[in-house]
Structure 1
Amino acid sequence: MSDRMRVLVVDDDENILLVFRGICKRKGLEIADFTSPIDAYEYLKSNEVDLCIFDINMPEMNGIELLKKSKAIKGDTEFLIMSGVATVENAVSAIKEGAYDLIQKPFASLEFVISVMDRALEKRRLIREISVLRSQVSQESGFCGIIGRSPRITRIFDIIETVASSGSSVLIAGESGTGKEMVARAIHQRGNRREKPFVAINCSAITETLFESELFGHIRGSFTNAFDNKEGLLEYADGGTVFLDEVGDIPLSIQVKLLRAIQEKEIRRIGSTENIKIDVRFVSATNRDLKALISEGRFREDLFYRLNVIEIDMPPLRERDGDILILAHYFLSKYSRVMNREIKGFSPDAIVALENYRWPGNIRELENAVERAVVMCRSEEIQVSDLPQNITEGIVAEEGPLFDEGDSFLAAKKKVIESFERNYFLRLLERCNGNYSKAAEIAKMDRSNLRKLVKKYPDVYNRFK
């Protein structure tokens, strides 16, 4: 099978088949079309198809019956049903048997048919991608436990490999939750100090009065309650790596002593006159602007340059194209095992919500959201309703109900689709800064078709002219 997606169309009206041939040619899709549902079913048994479109009223076999038979042998394929009478009964029957949607004939417009096909094919693409991601997650744990394939994160992998075997100090900068400690551990694991200790010190969690004792140790009787000699963390880490997390929170009184330890490669326990040689590599991390702290007199400039020999800038999750879904499936697999749940993946709507959210808490927030979703899930897939409200509240506008109680099925459906499309295009173009080529690539749509669809929503279109 080629890389192009394949559509199977079955209708006893040759003119309808001509319409779909034109659509598929325009969209770059392969097409197989039949007037006989029996011939179509035989074709389906031996060929891979991404989307099947069946007319509901055909002489040899009706579309619902063909849908049932086809669904049994092609469970992952998407199906659309066409009907000259778009009744609620037809719609319910089609959806119940597994159809993605119902298309009324005669067609309101070709653009409408294309938009329905696009959404069905997008769901099929997502399911195929999920299958690949699930396979990758089960086969590998990433680079030293760091999961991702985006250019931004693979660049970090390259830097880690380059600097791991040197003894130079490394400063890892980035927002909270981006995985700075995992990068520090990867540097340690890939370097020649891997057999020695990796000591992580949370600088924001140690009070100023205890900081010196924790880092440098003390001797018996050096202060109240110093009943025994104590080895400091820098001494304990000899030969290995010390990770100073939230290094910007180190008190000024300790910064000068830390600077001396780095420069002289020796420390002195509190109360002692003896210097102790240490061989330690320093890796630090911060989510604060250390240069601003320097200008405010809260961080020593000389210490900054000692710690910042090599700087690594961790990208926020929202800038790691494609990694949100990879990480989401990794966490889904992790927590499904922990909780002994059998959850296959995320629904298409849940995927849209995950990809459109900004993730201010980065990977840590994503992991928390997926763990919650696994707990809340009551089906084979994570649904939008299983995700935290702050992630999903922007999907549907808060102006009130999407449709009126008195609306017909088709009128209500049209309003829901328009609401989804408007919100999807708005967030997509915001993410791409109005770049239609990049947006079309992400949406897996033709650029001109994307622009035409966006034009339906003047407020969105005019914003990104």
Structure 2
Amino acid sequence: MSARILIVEDDRTFRGFLQTVLRGAGHAPEAVETAEEGLVLLARGQYDLILSDLKLPGMSGLDFFRAARGEGSAAPFILLTAFGTIEEAVAAIKEGVADFLTKPLKDPETLRTLVGKHLHAGSRERDYLALKETEAAGLPPVELIFAGKVMAEVHGLVREVAATATTVLLQGESGTGKELVARSIHLYSPRRQGAFVAVNCAAIPENLLESELFGHERGAFSGAVQTRRGKFELAQGGTLFLDEIGELPLPLQAKLLRVLQERRFERVGGSREILSDARVVAATNRDLGEEAREKRFREDLFYRLNVFPIELPPLRSRLDILPGLVDYFIRRFARLTGKELSGIDPEALEYLRRYHWPGNIRELQNVMERAVILGRGRVRREQLPDFSARAQASAPTEAPRLEEVERQAILDALEACGGNRRLTAEKLGISKRTLQYRLKRYGLIGDEE
């Protein structure tokens, strides 16, 4: 695995030796003489690992580590130390330094092994956490999300854009797997060593959203008893996923635009500018172009986000993967419930194939969880919900318009939840704010509500 490595070492001969060894191992090392120069490079870009001498002219290696963490760098940090300062290096590990290496080196292999250990450990941990989060959310594995003919083009676009720092806008209906695609962009990218930080713009109260994104200083408002880093800082060197970006209030849209344009921001109640090195991937189930034309979304922000749009197709357009998804969910929920099921009857699978799936993969997940709970031996037609009122006609030309299907789905969910909008939003797999927007759009409530 090739990695970008920052070397800070004041001994020119030893600095050159470190570069030669790491370059020979397939990495891309950059070397400077002082910690101050190192901070300048960190402000310009992210590194996969930092190698620094403990004793430096000016700022020490430990102070350099503290400053780098303060600026949001999450790269593993290895200190180089002489035998006489090993105790200092051990103390530094308690502060978060990943490891230390004594000089002079016994042989180049010692350096290569230690660097490889921390690069691979970081990569494994991030991949493991991403998989655990995906499993906890009940989402299918990446290879199943990208399966099928329709998604082949999407997978190609994801692979191409992942290698860049370009802002990406994921568009598609609710439940199509936008967050999983965003995670894939992160894991395919050079930033995979950094954090993947997700924010649902519709799930956080408007008065708290600014602090959530940009952080706040102590005393910035009532209850701000200590300084807190926001999501942009937590995502330094990694990827920030802004889900349901269409729900972002207009005042915050202006602040987001500034970050995207100038790569800097300030915490709430603060005056110090913080450089941003977070790659932004945004997602929406709205037509942001139409929202911009109707002045509900800033046009300049839309163009800034829409640099590289990727449209995720609905489940009804990729029914070739339905058997694979059904099998995955049956096995997953059977394992969670301790039931033994051998699959699904062909009649039941065909019944699922004829449905239009307005809630997409998330809706299928909910349907299969219920079916597994009711199932005995195999999932059968009688264990599935009654889709007859909204099932697709066999001829594509007779299929209902998406707006009509969505409106009816909302009405049905509202009725099933006794008019409770919070429960309705949860049932549909959308935010309460999105439900409110849809209710107004389809004339189901007045503007004053």
Identify the TM-score tier after normalising by the shorter chain: 0.5 to 0.7
Aligned position for 2:395:
429
- Unmatched 5+ stretches in structure 1: 1-140, 396-425, 434-465
Separation (CA, whole Å) in 1 of partners of 2:367 and 2:196:
29
Separation (CA, whole Å) in 1 of partners of 2:205 and 2:378:
46
Structure 1 stretches (4+) deviating beyond 2 angstroms?
141-149, 391-395, 426-433
| Aligned positions of 1:113-152 closer than 5 A | 144=142, 146-152=144-150
Aligned-pair distance for 1:427?
3.5
| Aligned positions of 1:238-317 closer than 5 A | 238-317=236-315
Aligned-pair distance for 1:321?
3.5
Aligned-pair distance for 1:430?
3.0
Aligned-pair distance for 1:392?
5.2
Separation (CA, whole Å) in 2 of partners of 1:144 and 1:346:
23
CA contact (8 A) 1:143 1:157 kept: no
SS at match of 1:188: helix
Q: What do the CA deviations read for 1:267-317 (whole angstroms, capped 9, x no partner)?
A: 101111110112010000000111111112111111111111101000000
Partner residue of 1:199 out of 194, 197, 200: 197
Q: What do the CA deviations read for 1:423-463 (whole angstroms, capped 9, x no partner)?
A: xxx94333798xxxxxxxxxxxxxxxxxxxxxxxxxxxxxx
Q: What do the CA deviations read for 1:205-261 (whole angstroms, capped 9, x no partner)?
A: 122211111111111112212111111110111001010100001000111111111
Q: What do the CA deviations read for 1:363-392 (whole angstroms, capped 9, x no partner)?
A: 0010111110000012x2111001112x35
CA contact (8 A) 1:148 1:327 kept: no
Cα pair distance change 1:237/1:428, threshold 3 Å: same
- Say whether 1:383 aligns with 2:380: yes
Q: What do the CA deviations read for 1:43-91 (whole angstroms, capped 9, x no partner)?
A: xxxxxxxxxxxxxxxxxxxxxxxxxxxxxxxxxxxxxxxxxxxxxxxxx
Separation (CA, whole Å) in 2 of partners of 1:148 and 1:259:
31
Cα pair distance change 1:202/1:145, threshold 3 Å: farther
Cα pair distance change 1:274/1:148, threshold 3 Å: closer
Report the residue type matching 2:396 in the other structure: E
- Unmatched 5+ stretches in structure 2: 1-138, 400-449
CA contact (8 A) 1:241 1:283 kept: yes
Aligned-pair distance for 1:195?
1.3
Report the residue type matching 1:308 in the other structure: N
SS at match of 1:186: helix
SS at match of 2:394: helix
CA contact (8 A) 1:177 1:363 kept: yes
- Say whether 1:215 aligns with 2:220: no
Separation (CA, whole Å) in 2 of partners of 1:236 and 1:148:
28
CA contact (8 A) 2:356 2:390 kept: no
RCO (CA 8 Å, sep 6+): is it higher in 1 or 2? 2
CA contact (8 A) 2:146 2:155 kept: no
Cα RMSD (Å): 2.0
Separation (CA, whole Å) in 1 of partners of 2:144 and 2:328:
11
Separation (CA, whole Å) in 1 of partners of 2:389 and 2:227:
56
SS at match of 2:190: coil
Aligned position for 1:361:
359
Cα pair distance change 1:148/1:329, threshold 3 Å: farther
Separation (CA, whole Å) in 2 of partners of 1:198 and 1:230:
18
| Sequence identity percentage | 45
Cα pair distance change 1:142/1:246, threshold 3 Å: closer
Cα pair distance change 1:146/1:283, threshold 3 Å: farther
| Aligned positions of 1:225-244 closer than 5 A | 225-244=223-242
SS at match of 1:201: strand
Structure showing greater radius of gyration is 1
TM-score (ref. length: structure 2): 0.56
* Aligned residue pair count: 261
CA contact (8 A) 2:315 2:357 kept: yes
Cα pair distance change 1:431/1:376, threshold 3 Å: farther
Cα pair distance change 1:393/1:271, threshold 3 Å: closer
Report the residue type matching 2:357 in the other structure: W
CA contact (8 A) 2:257 2:304 kept: yes
SS at match of 1:270: coil
SS at match of 2:203: coil
Separation (CA, whole Å) in 1 of partners of 2:303 and 2:361:
29
CA contact (8 A) 2:140 2:325 kept: no
Aligned-pair distance for 1:149?
2.8
CA contact (8 A) 1:353 1:392 kept: no
Aligned-pair distance for 1:166?
0.6
Separation (CA, whole Å) in 1 of partners of 2:330 and 2:268:
48
Cα pair distance change 1:431/1:322, threshold 3 Å: farther
Report the residue type matching 2:315 in the other structure: L
Partner residue of 2:322 out of 302, 321, 324: 324
Aligned-pair distance for 1:178?
0.6
The farther-off stretch of 245-254 and 157-166 is 157-166
Separation (CA, whole Å) in 1 of partners of 2:283 and 2:234:
20
Separation (CA, whole Å) in 1 of partners of 2:147 and 2:216:
46
SS at match of 2:327: helix
Partner residue of 1:339 out of 320, 323, 337: 337
CA contact (8 A) 1:145 1:182 kept: no
Cα pair distance change 1:392/1:334, threshold 3 Å: farther
